[in-house]
A and B are shown apart, each in its own frame.
Chain A
Amino acid sequence: MMDRRELLHRASMLMGGTISASAAAGILAGCAATPWVDGPTPMGPTGNFLTPLEMATITSMADQIIPKTDTPGALDVGVPAFIDRMLAGYYPQRERDVIRTGLAKVNADAKALRGVSFSQLTSDEQVELMKRYDREQYDYTRANGSANPPVPPHPFRLVKELTILGFCTSEPGATKLMYYNQTPGPFRGDLPLSEVGKVSAL
């Protein structure tokens, strides 16, 4: 069964305990992401969950995770609003709490470092802090990824995961950075990568 096979295939990537339980649930539910262009969307522009300070923090982080280059970045496709909407409507309370507590800590760290909020740090300072969080989340996820019952995700892991998810399932992310074709035609099983060019978005 296609879907079962795909599930299994994806499950293989979960088995090393390298992915958070919430991400696993999402991926098993059929990952690939959504459009989060700011402005009216089926869900409205935001979920009104994040406070202005939290939103500013998420915005800076998302910008660092997938920056604008010669192609659109996380902010161009509306990732902060997407994250807000996911927290408001998709995730259960546990994930909301993880983010809220995590962002408070990020701003406390920024304050301790420079006496300002995270979004007011210089880009280099933001990167430095985020590298620390990235290492933490990586180690935490490795240690706890296969825990049963599942442990809450690391907050930075959740921010990073949502940024990648929101970006890669947005129309610009899927169509400009990847090969997106909903109706590819007959399957060609073995081609030089150069003939396709980029990874399939779906």
Chain B
Amino acid sequence: MQDLSQGTREQRTFDAIVVGSGIAGGWAAKELCEKGLKTLVLERGRKVEHGKDYKTFAMNPWDFRYPNGRTPQDEVDKHYPKQARTGYTVNDQWNHWFVKDDEHPYTEVNRFDWIRGYHVGGRSITWGRQSYRHSDLDFEANAKEGVGVDWPIRYADLAPWYDHVERWMGVSGTNEGLAQLPDGIFQPAMEFNVVEKSFKGKVEGTFPERRVTMGRTAHLTKPTDEQMKIGRGTCQTRNLCMRGCAFGAYFSSNGATLIAADHTGNMTLQPDSIVTEVIFDKAANKATGVRVQDGNTGKVTEYYAKVIFLNASALATTWIMLHSKSDRFPNGFGNDSDELGRNVMDHHFLAGAQADVDGYEDRYYAGRRPTGIYVPRFRNLGDTKTKQKDFTRGYGYQGGASRTGWQRLVAEMGFGKDLKDEISEPGAWTMGLTGFGEMLPYRDNRVWLNHDVKDKDGLPTLTMDVTIRQNELNMRKDMQSSAVEMMEAAGFKNVRPYDRPYAPGLGIHEMGTARMGRDPKTSVLNAHNQVHGCTNVYVTDGAAMTSAACVNPSLTYMALTARAADHAVNALKRGEL
């Protein structure tokens, strides 16, 4: 590729710049390129080619230096003490998709887990792929309850863009006709196993307001011609997704949006490009471009465009904005409201129940389903029956049943031939549910720039001060007790509630730090995700979220991005930007 940083100003000028190549940036790139804009996509991390750079894709458990990719504890301690807090992210199968904490430090007033990777595709390679729509219950909640600020949009504004995104990316799932979890455009859902079928029957029979559905997940089960044309295929249920999928069976930027963007001939994708600032022109009252520090050489170059999409991820986008100071925006770009960096949200989880299941010993399943069952929110739906006394909002459950494998034998007594015989047999069925709960926006849950601690590129870092509060703590009790009552209704044994340590960020759904709103005094973005006070800059990643809802957020980032890209192109045509 040509070295653009050596180029003339004209060569460094595009119609659009997209900052970040993750799930939101990929969509911005695709939509803007397909609508004819010459688009520069800047990614701070290294290049990743779909398929070719999934270096562990085909490896067997015995091909790794330690079993199944285990990373030795001293390496974890040295490089990944924070990235390892999830318990599953640091492993040789995929730790190349996560930053090294010693290279990319951050400071915690209270524990905050910022789990992320810097490379083309970002977390679209490692995401959980659960895809759910927000409903009007979510869009209206802040206004009704006087919490935070009102969303400047409603479900009807976003519904066509959810359709657009789901149809193109491919989501498997089932329509349920629920107001709190709008239906969508789905490929066939993955199958239930025998215990989950029984659970569904018993729960829905006992609790009419509760539904048990298959997780809506961004895996192709019946690919469209359009999907196959860009090289995507049917999910092979390897459930090794975080290694990257050479089949393109789950949705990622690398396997889908960036391919489509590239096919237009309009995209220039430049890795190793750390955007440090948005360049603001006071006279024109516009952003003219971005300042980029080369991730390898440190060389600083400016790139210019008519419209800029910030999609670096919620906190990284916020970092760029806080780091972009000018006469017009002395407290950070677009920060007239002092809301930039505030209202950090995540989904709190790891509260629910586990149970043992007797019987069904002659039933099994084939394949490793890369999703679980889902119980949509059933609390505080706006009627008196579901209204809760001690918390507002709600949660959904993710979970599933399975049979234990050889790992169970470690905990049992015995050795010799009997133990060996047991290795080949599936163990008993067990089932688990965990609630994913909505976290409210609290103004003093915030991040700010830390100039004392620098990252490996010599740039300032972030400090986080974020906690969950009474509403979340009360909800967690209900997340346990409702799971217990469903498991008991299903006739399961040894039902055990649990509430494991959760800290904000652990859900890897950080959001809210440049929220959308109706009033520039109390929000950072308008109804089209344009920055108040500088409308040729759009923010459509997690930073834009005005409330968290209780569902996994990526689908909403994608829909917001596609909608904003459409707005930007039309506004450009009208000469408004």
Contacts and interface: CB of A to CB of B under 8 A. Distances in A.
B410 A160 contact: yes
Given A32-B61, A73-B420, A186-B235, A10 B407 contact: yes
Given A5-B398, A184-B236, A186-B237, A26 B70 contact: yes
Interface string B338-377: 0000000000011010100000011111111111100000
Q: Which of A15, A29, A85 has the most CB of B within 10 A?
A: A29
A155 interface: no
Interface stretch (A63-71, A101-109, A111-119): A63-71
Contact of A192 (B63, B362, B368, B399): B362
Interface stretch (B132-140, B162-170, B422-430, B450-458): B422-430
Interface string A152-186: 00000000110011111111011001100011111
A34 B61 contact: yes
A81 interface: no
Contacts of B407: 10, 13, 27, 31-32
B565 interface: no
Interface stretch (B83-91, B152-160, B268-276, B519-527): B83-91
Contacts of A171: 60, 62
Interface in A83-139: 85-86, 89-92, 127, 130, 134-135, 138
A184 B368 contact: yes
A13 B496 CA distance: 11
Contacts of B88: 3-4, 6-7, 28-30
- Size class of the A contact interface (CB-based, 8 Å): 35 or more
Contact of A8 (B70, B362, B365, B434): B434
Interface residues of B, number: 92
Q: Which of A9, A18, A28, A35 has the most CB of B within 10 A?
A: A9
B65 interface: yes
A135 B127 CA distance: 43
Interface in A1-49: 1-13, 15-16, 18-19, 23, 25-37, 42-43
Contacts of A86: 66
Nearest to A11: B500
Contact of A190 (B128, B194, B240, B399): B194
A195 B496 CA distance: 32
A196 B61 contact: no
B58 interface: yes
Given A34-B68, A90-B72, A90-B73, A168 B364 contact: no
Q: Which of B86, B196, B423 has the most CB of A within 10 A?
A: B423
A32 B367 CA distance: 16
B111 interface: no
B413 interface: yes
A64 to B, nearest CB: 6
A29 B95 CA distance: 11
Q: Which of B192, B241, B424 has the most CB of A within 10 A?
A: B424
A129 B402 CA distance: 36
B461 interface: no
B129 A184 contact: no
A199 interface: yes
B416 interface: yes
B52 interface: no
A168 B406 contact: yes
A5 B58 CA distance: 22
B61 A174 contact: yes
A202 B64 contact: no
Closest 7 CB pairs of A and B: A1-B128, A35-B62, A189-B191, A34-B67, A12-B354, A33-B67, A28-B87
Given A187-B190, A189-B194, A190-B194, 9 more contacts: A2-B129, A32-B407, A42-B63, A43-B65, A90-B73, A164-B423, A171-B62, A186-B237, A199-B405
5 contacts: A5-B398, A5-B400, A11-B87, A13-B407, A34-B61
